Structures are given as C-alpha cells and as structure tokens.
C-alpha cells in the first residue's frame, strides 16, 4: 500500500515540476498526454493497477489517484488559460503607435483673452458690441473732449486717411440705428472709446457696455509697441455711478483674470475722464514684494480709466448734472503677455504656428 | 520733469527720504520714472532723510504748473501737509547753510522805460513784460550750474543760465535779447509779415507765415514768440545791456507755430500747455534778483508790463454732495479745505442762500486744468487718496441687450475653422501698396496719409496679403504644413469697411502617418473648407469658374449664393506667392468670404427641424461619358430638372479619365437617392425616373450611359 501511495505523491511532484517548466500550449498538450492520456498516461496507468490491489485497499487508492487526476486537469486548465491570456489575439495592433492626428487649429491668444474679458463682463450684465475701425474726427477726438489742436492728441499719434471713405456699421442687434454707419471716415481709430460716443448718442442711459476691437497708433512694431493692437473699452453710465464702482468692477475683472490680486488706482490724466486713474494690480509673481516682473515696485500697470468727463456727456446730449459714469480702456496685448508670459508683443503678430500651437486647444 | 530734491526743499521742509517721496507722489498723480541719488559714495540709507536725489516725475499734459520746482514743491507740501516757503522781496541772496535763495528784486512798473513794448495782437499775447539790465557776461557760479545740470540743462552763460533757472524753478519761460541789437529800442509783439524769415538760436533760417506770432524790433523779427529766440539778437560775450522778456502767450498760437515749424522747445512745451498769466512780472523780479545775486548784472529797476487782455481767475462752485456722489465716499469738510487751500485755491461758503452745502472756489491762474467742479473733486480725491475709495458695484438697472451678432458669428467661425485645423492669425490692418494692389480694383485702395513706412502704406483691401505673409514667415521657419485664418475688417474706397474671413492652406491635407495616406492640399480641400464655413453661415453656395489676377487660372472660383458673389477661392498665383517670399513650387490655396455679404444673404429666421423620413429610400448608380468640359453643376442641373421630387440626393462618386475613356471625355458616376415622404417607392417608379434622367442627359449633353 505504502509503495503505491508513494508513487501517487511522486507522480504529483513530477507533474508539478514539469508544469512549472511548461511555456507553450504544446508543452501543456504533451503534459496532458504524459499523465492523462487514455492509452499511455501515467495517471491512467496507476488507475489500471487498481484491479491488482486487494479489495480493501482499492477504494482508498482509487480516491488518491482520482484526486491527483482532478488536480492535474485543473492545473492544466489554469495554466492554459494563463498562457492564452498572454497570447496576441488575431487582429491585434500595436496600441503604442501614434494615433491619426485630428487636425485642430488654435484660437489666437489675443482672442482667447479677449473672450475671457468678454465673458467676465457678460456675467456682470454688460452689452458687448463692436464698432467701426475707421472713424471720423468727431467721434475719435472732438466729442471725447479733445478739440482740434488739443495737446492730448499728441498722446495718440494718429494714422489718417488720404481721403475720407465710408466706414463700417455697428449695432445691428439693436434694431434700426439712424447713424449705424460711419459716413466719412478720415482716420484709424486710436481707441475703441469712439464707440462710447456713437452709443451714447443713440441710446439713453443707463449704459453698461464693453467694446472690444482693433485700434491703431502711429508706432513702429518692436518688443513693446505695435501699430495695431486690441483694446476693450468699458462704459457704465447711470444715476449715482461712482469711482468706487469703477474700482470694484476692475477689481472683479482683474481677479477673474489673474487670481487673488489687489488693485490700486493712481491719479492720472485723460481728456475724456475726470477724475482719471491708472490702474495697477499687485504683482502675481512676487505677491507685491517686488521682483523683476514688476520692476521691484510690487505693482503692474494694467489700464487707464476714470469718471466720464461732463464735457463728453454734453457732447452726446446726456445731462451731466443727473448722470455720472465710468469708463476704462484695457489693452488685450498687455493682459495676454502677462497671463501667458509672452515676452514680446511682436510674437503676437508674427503668427508663427510654433507659437500659436503652444496655446491649449 | 527732473527735480533736484535739495532745490525743492528750498520751498518745502520735507524730511521724507527721496524714495518715500517718490512713492507718495506716484499715487498723487505723478508717476516716477526714476530716482537717482546724489552725494558720492554714501549709500541712500546712510544719507537718510538728508539724501539729495534727482527724482524724475512724469507730469501729465494737463499740469504745466508742475513743470517746475515750485509746482512740484506745492504738491509735495499738500501731500505731506506742510507749509510752503515763498519767494520774497526781502529774502537772502543765498543762505549758506541751506543753499536756499528766495529773493525777488523790486521792480517799478512804468509805462515806458529804456525799452518800448507794443503788443499788436493782444489775443495772441495777452501779457508781455520787458526789463532792461546792465550785465557782464561770464559763466554762472558752480551751485547754479550744478542745479541746472541736475535738471538736465546745460549751463551756457550767466545770463542764459538765469533765464533757465527761472524756467526750471517757476515754470516761466524767459528770454534775453542783446539790447544794442534791437532797432530803435523797441519790442513789437506782432504776427509775421509775408515773406519774413528769422535765423533762430539753433542756427536755422526759418520761413515765417502770417499766422505766427513773433517778437520784433522796429524792423524785423528777433524771436518766434514762445518758441525760440533769434540768432541776431542773441546774448554774446560782448553784450553789456540786455532786455529780459517774460510773457504770457496764447497756448494755441504757440502750439500751432511750434507744430508748423516742427520746433519743440522747453518754452514752447510750457506755453502750449498753458503758462501762468499772473507770473511774468514775478518771474522777472526773480530773474533780476538772481542776476544781482550771482554778480552777472544789475536791473535798471523798472519793468514795462503790458497786460492788455487781463485773465481773471475762475471761480467755481463745489458742492459737498457732488464729492461723495462722484467718489462714492464722503470726504470730511476739513480735508476738502485743507487740500484745496494748500494747492492755492481759496474757498468761501457759496453766497446763495438756497445752497448752503457749497463752496465758492477761486482757481489760481496757473491751474489751467481746473475749469469745472469735477476738476476740483479730482484735486480733493487725488490728495485724499484713491486708496481710501470703497470697492462697490454699479447696480444693474436694465436688462442687458443680446450679444452683438457679429461677435457671436466670429466666435462660431473661430470654432469651425479651428476644428478644420486652421489656427487663427492676427495681421495688421495696413499693408504695402504693392502687396495690396492685386487684391483691389482700380482706384479702390485706401492710402494712409502719414504711414509709418512703405510696408504700412494702405489699408488692406483683403486679409489675404497679410495672411500670405504669415504663411511665408512660417515657411521660412521649417513649417511646411500651415493652415491659417483671420477674421477682420478690410477696406476699399467704394465699399468702405467690411468684414471678411480669409484662410490660407499650404502643405499636406492629410498629415504624414505611419499608416500612410498622406497627401498635399488641393483645390477641393479648400473648397471643402468654404463649404463648411457656408454651412456654418447657413448659406447654400455654389462655385463658378472665375478669373482673378492673384489666382492660378483654371483653379480659381467665385463663391456664389443666390447669384451674389460672397467670396473667392483658389490656388494662389505663383508670382504672388513669390512676391511674398514663398517658394514658387509650393501650392498655397486661399479663400476669402465677405461676412457682411454673407450675413445679408443668410436666412433671418431660426433653423427648423423636418420630420425624419418614414419610408425607405432607393439608390441607383449611373455612369455616363460626357465631354470633359461639362461641369458637374450642369450635369446636376439636368438631373434635377428631369427628375421628380422623389430625387432627394445626387452624389458624384467617381470621375475618371484615361484608359477605356475616349479622348476629351470623362466618365462620371453618380449615385442618386430617391425617396417619397408618403409611401414606399416602387421599382417601376424609380426606373421611370431614371429613364427620364438618362434620356435628358443624352439629349442635353450627348451623354452615353456606360
């Protein structure tokens, strides 16, 4: 008895050793044949010796052999399944190869930032509209408290047209507007403030608008200047609008764009606002302690603003005794450069795809 | 405006450090462009409050009164709540300890002195003061030279230095003439006569026009009023008697003359912004005191002060309620008074009994920028501190109107174009005339009168020249595959400012991939873009062969909708590509759609959905042989006219020319889809429709069914 039971154990050991070495389906087949083949399998062989045993030992031995048989079958099945799972299925591909690139262009960074600004103000209930790029002297200068020969005109070196042309239109979404088209444009607008005048001449207060668009100055293109740039003009007019409202509004805009920053207003001069203020925000790079980005002042200049000058209200027929308002003009280039770390304004107008494609889709 | 701090301290005892002063003043309306410490190797810290420095203040154009030491001193005095020291007749020549010299000479106003002054144009010269002094020309003392140099002015001689010193200190431009060189000891302030000219101090001979104000002697102009003196009457080494000029000229007149002559001087800048009409005689007294103090000469004690057009100080009403109303925070009365009085305004309670809440404010004549109540409020706010303003929000009192549809449209097109693989470009609104010319009709170009350079000479008639430049820029930087678009204005003499969408595509249409399939862009890729854009604009467009000088003939088309041309599409002519610096062998496809025309043609109503078909469709393929010149559009038109309404779609699925097809013929294969909305079509119905179509194609185009 004992010799036979030993041979069952030996057979199990032999199988396990061989199973460990089996690496292919063929190895498993051979193993199956060696141990379980109906004709020549070792386990089958053991089973055949059953008849030679005395009747009282048969039952116990039979159970031992059957257990071994089941064990071997299970082990072979498991190993087969394991081998199968590592095998390359038919039609398999190298999933690590690059995919076919779906073409996708980029929105220009200036337009990304412009859109951000538009959205910020849209959420605050502002109307967003565009105006013509060629303008006349009245809307670009005179009505903005810059009569002919006003020294402030020098601040904005203007590009003039040889001869007047018909300008663009505006305000199609507001129904029929009597002066929706510039009749005789003589210059390239130096700021989108020209639309302040067109708008106020057409619509009564309250006013709550921003006007994004391209503006032009007689500047050469270099690292910090461009003869064309993008501006967003904001204008709010109503009863009881204050300089504090301007501060709160610009604070909201600046925070939405640059995170947790503070702003400060500095007195300045623009002919069309009084009081006028330059607006700085605390340097986000150093938190206001002073670094190279903010030229060690802790502040970064952002925009010009102020309370609408009563002379401007008079030019458009608003009662300056009744209404007050604020206006601001912010350069999109500057915000874009600050936001994305663009070192030169020139880069924004070269349209180098290697530059454009650095902006996320 | 460079201000030497020790000079400023002559007028106000400010003990703060230069850096602190710079910081304070920069939030009071005077941005600081630089702060340079003086005093050798002593560090700023070591020098402490006594440190001397030159602070470069940016003085805004509305504040000519601050373009001098006293003007800035007054601002500093207000900011620090300190008293101002005044120039006085009994002052010391020069305090050895503090270096200060605050003396004014006493001059007696007379009708006619050694010099006769006549103002012919009181509107252009409201005030002119002249005084005569006997002098010995030589260098000025070191302290005066040092102060001038610190302010950025080159010392010349004691006489000129004194006039410059007064200019820098008080803001009053002055001029010295050599008395002996003035004909008939006369000063005539008049406009120039036709044909007159003058050689100015810079040695240039300048032609004068009759709208220019000059200072003349009995015979000829000796200075351009408020701009520059003449060389012939210049003070020289041998000069022994001078006439000092201290005047107030009309700002506009000086500005026009200065612009016309393209001659900007320290004097003209101050006069054109507005000098102080009250100042000329005081400045004269100061200059005479200084001449005396530095041993340069002695005034004869009289001054001729012609003041035919008196300028009275303005009075304004300042309402307490308006201060809080504009700033959003009430400012205590004491602060209002303190600030305004320190700046030289005088306040009295408003006399009208109906308004006890107001002040009557008299504005000093030097404050040319203060003409309304808001200007006074700004003064208060400036020195009260913008940092004390609250942060509030304007109330929303009306429903915001919808978004400008042009902005919405541009956003939409931006997403359509980027999804088509095009990146957005931003090019200038002006281009070189040569680059623009091919894109504009005869006389349509809009030239700029004062362009920066030839490259920016005309407004762009199309966004394409700029876009092609952008493609070339990329091509030079190893970028072979470039797709760019731009949305923006373009300009023409006839149609004015209009908006367009322009795009350019070069390189591959399908980019290189290990799986193959790469190919270069062709006409139909670009047409696909145009079709996509048209869909986005909700337009049905057709293309028609069209010739355009800047496109390759046979590969250019008009984009039409309802018989209106809204755009152009095609392959860029090699000559144009080359002119923009692109390699000639590169195929560049371009298109431009007029967005204003497109908008006019687009349906105004919202799109509405149709019910989905309930019955199956039937497709039939047909291949025909036709002339190669027959357009797909003509074939479609024939098919449509021959078919009943059950034909719902025509698709060209093959076009073949070559083996098995006769010369000058093409084999065109169409897939036709039939469907009825109310029943399943029978074979017989479809067959009958097909028979009609085949017959019609044969009839009209001699098409042979294959």
> What is the β-pairing status of strands B108-109 and B302-306?
parallel
**Burial (CB count <10 Å: 0-12, 13-18, 19+), residue A291:** middle
pLDDT at B47 over 60: no
The distance of A191 to chain B (nearest Cα, Å) reads: 14
Q: Do B428 and A227 touch (CB under 8 A)?
A: yes
Which has the minimum average pLDDT: A248-252, B108-112, B129-133?
B108-112
Distances (CA, A) of A236 to A199, A240, A280: 11, 11, 20
Q: Rounded distance, CA B317 to CA B332, Å? A: 17
Query: Residue A102 has which token pair?
Result: 């779906």
Query: Whose CA is closest to A113, among A330, A351, A350?
Result: A330
pLDDT at B41 over 60: no
Q: Which residue is associated with the tokens 């041979």? A: A7
Q: Which residue is associated with the tokens 């050689």? A: B199
Q: CA-based diameter of chain B, in Å?
A: 124
With an 8 Å Cβ cutoff, is B423 touching chain A?
A: yes
Contact between residue B290 and residue B165 where contact means Cβ atoms under 8 Å apart:
yes
Which has the minimum average pLDDT: A61-65, B411-415, B469-473?
A61-65
Task: Give the H or E element holding residue A305.
Answer: strand A299-308
With an 8 Å Cβ cutoff, is B452 touching chain A?
A: yes
**Cβ-based contacts of B428 with chain A (< 8 Å):** 227-228, 349
* pLDDT score of A200: 96
Contact between residue B142 and residue B253 where contact means Cβ atoms under 8 Å apart:
no
Mind listing the pLDDT tens digit for each residue in B270-295? 999 999 999 999 999 999 999 999 99
Query: Whose CA is closest to A345, among A184, A212, A221?
Result: A221
Residues of chain A with pLDDT under 50: 1-3
Query: Can you give the length of chain A in residues?
Result: 361
Q: Which of residues 9-28 of B touch A (CB under 8 A)?
A: 26-28
Higher pLDDT, A282 or B172: B172
Query: Whose CA is closest to B69, among B150, B156, B161?
Result: B150
**Burial (CB count <10 Å: 0-12, 13-18, 19+), residue B296:** buried
Contact between residue B229 and residue B265 where contact means Cβ atoms under 8 Å apart:
no
Residue B671: how many other CB atoms lie within 10 Å? 14
Q: Which residue is associated with the tokens 């500093």? A: B76
- Angular region, B38: left φ>0, alpha ψ -120 to 50, beta rest: beta
The distance of B252 to chain A (nearest Cα, Å) reads: 7
Q: Return the DSSP state at B429.
A: S
Query: Average of pLDDT values for B343-364?
Result: 86
Backbone phi and psi for residue B290, each to the nearest 5 degrees, phi listed first? -70, -40
Three-state DSSP at A100 gives: coil
Q: Rounded distance, CA B257 to CA B268, Å? A: 9
Q: Rounded distance, CA B337 to CA B570, Å? A: 73
Residue B480: how many other CB atoms lie within 10 Å? 11
Q: What is the ipTM of this complex?
A: 0.90
First-last CA distance in chain B: 90
Q: Rounded distance, CA B557 to CA B569, Å? A: 5
* pLDDT score of B401: 85
* pLDDT score of B465: 97
Ordered DSSP codes for A326-341: EEEEEEHHHHHHHHHT
For B428-445, b/e burial (b = at least 16 CB within 10 A) is: bbbbbbebbbbbbeeebb
Query: Whose CA is closest to B283, among B272, B270, B295, B273?
Result: B270
* pLDDT score of A58: 83
Contact between residue A325 and residue A241 where contact means Cβ atoms under 8 Å apart:
yes
* pLDDT score of A2: 42
Mind listing the pLDDT tens digit for each residue in A246-296? 999 999 999 999 988 889 999 999 999 999 999 998 888 888 888 887 878
Q: Rounded distance, CA B225 to CA B353, Å? A: 47
With an 8 Å Cβ cutoff, is B31 touching chain A?
A: yes
* pLDDT score of A300: 87
Query: Whose CA is closest to B666, among B701, B621, B699?
Result: B701
Q: Rounded distance, CA B508 to CA B479, Å? A: 11
Q: Rounded distance, CA A41 to CA B67, Å? A: 113
Q: Do B428 and A182 touch (CB under 8 A)?
A: no
Mind listing the pLDDT tens digit for each residue in B390-399? 999 999 988 8
Q: Which of residues 128-187 of B touch A (CB under 8 A)?
A: none
Question: Among B273, B374, B404, whose Cβ lies nearest the Cβ of A274?
Answer: B374
Three-state DSSP at A358 gives: coil
Task: Give the H or E element holding residue A44.
Answer: helix A42-48
Three-state DSSP at B704 gives: strand
pLDDT at B37 over 90: no
- B230 - beta bridge partners? B200
Strand order across the beta sheet in which B53-57 lies: B2-4, B53-57, B32-37
Distances (CA, A) of A161 to A52, A186, B456: 120, 5, 12
Which residues 6+ apart lie within 8 Å of B629 measured at CB?
A: none
With an 8 Å Cβ cutoff, is B555 touching chain A?
A: no
Strands (E), B74-148: 108-109, 116-119, 127-135
Please, what is the average pLDDT of chain B? 93
Contact between residue B18 and residue B5 where contact means Cβ atoms under 8 Å apart:
yes
The distance of B460 to chain A (nearest Cα, Å) reads: 12
How many angstroms from the chain centroid is the CA of residue B136? Answer: 50
Mind listing the pLDDT tens digit for each residue in A5-22? 558 888 889 899 988 998
Task: Give the H or E element holding residue B519.
Answer: strand B519-520
With an 8 Å Cβ cutoff, is B418 touching chain A?
A: yes
Q: Do B273 and A247 touch (CB under 8 A)?
A: no
Q: Rounded distance, CA A313 to CA B182, Å? A: 51
Q: Which residue is associated with the tokens 């600046």? A: A254
Query: Whose CA is closest to B465, among B582, B544, B556?
Result: B582
Contact between residue B472 and residue B582 where contact means Cβ atoms under 8 Å apart:
yes
**Cβ-based contacts of B377 with chain A (< 8 Å):** 274-275
Q: Rounded distance, CA B462 to CA B475, Å? A: 21
Residue percentage of chain B with pLDDT more than 90: 85
Q: Rounded distance, CA B231 to CA B396, Å? A: 65
Which residues 6+ apart lie within 8 Å of A77 measured at CB?
A: none
Which residues 6+ apart lie within 8 Å of A16 measured at CB?
A: A75
Angle at the Cα of B353 (from B350 to B355), degrees rounded to 5? 65
Q: Return the DSSP state at B399.
A: P
Q: Do B29 and A266 touch (CB under 8 A)?
A: yes
pLDDT at B626 over 50: yes
- pLDDT band at residue B46 using 50, 70 and 90 as cut-offs: low
- pTM of the entire predicted model: 0.88
Q: Which residue is associated with the tokens 């009309």? A: B250
Q: Check the CA dihedral B42-B44-B50-B51 and report its sign.
A: positive
Query: Average of pLDDT values for B13-42?
Result: 86
pLDDT at B85 over 70: yes
Q: Rounded distance, CA A309 to CA A315, Å? A: 10
Query: Whose CA is closest to B458, among B477, B472, B439?
Result: B439
Which residues 6+ apart lie within 8 Å of A37 measured at CB?
A: A44
Residue B209: how many other CB atoms lie within 10 Å? 15
**Cβ-based contacts of A180 with chain B (< 8 Å):** none
Question: Among B386, B400, B497, whose Cβ lies nearest the Cβ of A265?
Answer: B386
Contact between residue B622 and residue B693 where contact means Cβ atoms under 8 Å apart:
yes
Residue percentage of chain B with pLDDT more than 70: 96
Q: Rounded distance, CA B77 to CA B84, Å? A: 6
Which residues 6+ apart lie within 8 Å of A135 measured at CB?
A: A167, A182, A185, A186, A187, A188, A189, A194
Distances (CA, A) of B553 to A128, B180, B232, B405, B575: 43, 81, 70, 36, 12
- A169 - beta bridge partners? A181
């Amino acid at each position: 008895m004992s010799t036979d039971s030993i041979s069952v154990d030996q057979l199990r050991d032999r199988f396990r050793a061989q199973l460990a070495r089996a690496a292919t389906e063929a190895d498993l087949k051979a193993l199956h044949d060696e141990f379980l083949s109906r004709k020549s399998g070792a386990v089958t062989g053991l089973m055949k010796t059953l008849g030679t045993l005395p009747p009282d030992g048969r039952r116990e031995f039979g159970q031992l052999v059957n257990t071994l048989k089941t064990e071997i079958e299970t082990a072979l099945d498991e190993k087969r399944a394991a081998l199968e799972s590592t095998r390359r299925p038919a039609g398999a591909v190298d999933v690590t190869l690059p995919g076919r690139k779906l073409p996708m262009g980029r929105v220009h960074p200036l337009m990304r930032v412009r859109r951000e600004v538009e959205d910020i103000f849209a959420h605050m209930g502002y109307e967003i509209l565009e105006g013509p790029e060629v303008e006349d002297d009245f809307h670009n200068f005179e009505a903005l408290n810059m009569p002919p020969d006003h020294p402030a005109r020098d601040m904005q070196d203007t590009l003039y047209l040889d001869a007047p042309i018909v300008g663009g239109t505006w305000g199609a979404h507001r129904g029929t507007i009597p002066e929706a088209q510039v009749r005789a444009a003589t210059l390239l607008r130096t700021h989108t403030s020209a639309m302040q005048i067109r708008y106020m001449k057409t619509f009564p207060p309250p006013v709550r608008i921003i006007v994004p668009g391209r503006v032009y100055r007689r500047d050469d293109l270099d690292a910090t200047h461009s003869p064309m740039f993008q501006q967003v003009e904001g204008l709010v007019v109503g009863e009881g609008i204050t300089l504090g409202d301007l501060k709160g509004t610009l604070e909201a805009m600046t925070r939405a764009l640059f995170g947790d920053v503070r702003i400060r207003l500095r007195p300045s001069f623009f002919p069309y606002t009084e009081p006028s203020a330059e607006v700085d925000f605390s340097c986000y790079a150093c938190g206001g302690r002073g670094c190279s980005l903010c030229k060690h002042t802790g502040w970064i200049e952002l925009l010009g603003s102020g309370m609408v000058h009563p002379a401007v209200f008079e030019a458009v027929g608003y009662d300056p005794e009744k209404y007050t308002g604020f206006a601001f003009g912010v350069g999109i280039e500057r915000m874009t450069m600050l936001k994305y770390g663009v070192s030169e304004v020139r880069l924004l107008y070269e349209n180098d795809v290697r530059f454009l494609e650095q902006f996320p889709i | 405006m460079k201000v030497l701090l020790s000079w400023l301290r002559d007028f106000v005892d400010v003990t703060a450090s230069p850096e602190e002063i710079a910081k304070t003043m920069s939030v009071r309306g005077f941005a600081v462009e630089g702060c340079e410490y003086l005093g050798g190797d002593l560090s700023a810290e070591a020098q402490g409050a006594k440190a001397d420095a030159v602070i470069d203040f940016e003085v805004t154009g509305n504040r000519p009164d601050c373009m001098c030491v006293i003007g800035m001193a007054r601002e500093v005095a207000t900011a620090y709540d300190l008293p101002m020291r005044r120039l006085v007749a009994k002052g010391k020549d020069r305090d050895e300890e503090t270096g200060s010299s605050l003396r004014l000479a006493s001059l007696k106003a007379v009708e006619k002195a050694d010099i006769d002054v006549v103002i012919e144009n009181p509107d252009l010269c409201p005030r002119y003061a002249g005084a005569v002094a006997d002098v010995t020309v030589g260098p000025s003392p070191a302290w005066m030279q040092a102060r001038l140099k610190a302010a950025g002015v080159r010392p010349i001689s004691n006489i000129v230095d004194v006039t410059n010193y007064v200019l820098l200190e008080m803001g009053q431009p002055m001029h010295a003439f050599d008395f002996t060189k003035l004909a008939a000891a006369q000063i005539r302030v008049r406009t120039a006569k036709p044909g007159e000219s003058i050689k100015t101090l810079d040695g240039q001979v300048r032609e004068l026009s009759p709208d220019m104000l000059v200072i003349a002697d009995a015979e000829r102009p000796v200075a351009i009023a408020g701009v520059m003196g003449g060389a012939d009457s210049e003070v020289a080494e041998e000069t022994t008697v001078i006439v000092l000029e201290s005047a107030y000229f009309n700002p506009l007149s000086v500005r026009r003359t200065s612009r016309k002559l393209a001659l900007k001087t320290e004097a003209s800048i101050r006069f054109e912004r507005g000098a102080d009409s009250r100042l000329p005689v005081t400045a004269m007294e100061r200059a005479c005191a200084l001449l005396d103090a530095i041993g340069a000469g002695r005034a004869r004690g009289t001054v001729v002060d012609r003041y035919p057009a008196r300028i009275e100080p303005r009075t304004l009403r300042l309402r307490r309620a308006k201060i809080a109303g504009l700033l959003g925070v009430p400012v205590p009365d004491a602060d209002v008074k303190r600030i305004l009085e320190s700046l030289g305004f005088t306040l009295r309670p408003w006399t009208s009994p109906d308004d006890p809440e107001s002040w009557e404010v008299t504005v000093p004549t030097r404050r040319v920028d203060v003409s309304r109540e808001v200007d006074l409020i700004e003064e208060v706010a400036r020195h009260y501190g913008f940092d004390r303003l609250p942060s509030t929000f304007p109330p929303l009192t009306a429903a915001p109107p919808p978004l400008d549809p042009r902005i919405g449209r541009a956003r939409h097109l931006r997403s359509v174009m980027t999804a088509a693989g095009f990146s957005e470009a931003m090019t200038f609104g002006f281009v070189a005339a040569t680059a623009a010319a091919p894109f504009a009709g005869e006389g349509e170009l809009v030239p700029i009168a004062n362009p920066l350079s030839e490259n920016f000479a005309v407004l762009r008639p199309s966004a394409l020249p700029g876009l092609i430049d952008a493609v070339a820029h990329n091509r030079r930087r190893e970028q072979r595959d470039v797709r760019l678009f731009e949305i923006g204005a373009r300009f023409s003499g006839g149609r004015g400012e209009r908006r367009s969408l322009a795009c350019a595509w070069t390189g591959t249409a399908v980019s290189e991939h290990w799986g193959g399939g790469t190919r270069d862009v062709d006409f139909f890729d670009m047409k696909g873009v145009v079709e996509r854009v048209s869909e986005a604009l909700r337009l049905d467009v057709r293309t028609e062969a069209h010739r355009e000088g800047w496109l390759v003939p046979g590969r250019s088309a008009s984009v039409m909708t309802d018989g209106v041309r809204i755009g152009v599409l095609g392959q860029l002519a090699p000559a144009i590509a080359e002119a923009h610096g692109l390699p000639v062998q590169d195929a560049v496809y371009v298109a431009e759609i007029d967005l204003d025309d497109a908008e006019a043609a687009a349906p105004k109503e919202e799109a509405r959905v149709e019910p989905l078909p309930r019955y199956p469709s039937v497709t039939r393929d047909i291949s025909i042989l036709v002339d190669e010149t027959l357009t797909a559009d003509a074939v479609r038109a024939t098919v449509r006219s021959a078919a009943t309404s059950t034909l719902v779609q025509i698709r060209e699925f093959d076009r073949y020319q070559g083996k098995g097809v006769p010369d000058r013929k093409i084999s065109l294969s169409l897939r036709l889809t039939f469907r009825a909305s109310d029943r399943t079509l029978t074979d017989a119905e479809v067959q009958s429709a097909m028979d009609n179509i085949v017959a019609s194609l044969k009839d009209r185009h001699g098409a042979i069914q294959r």
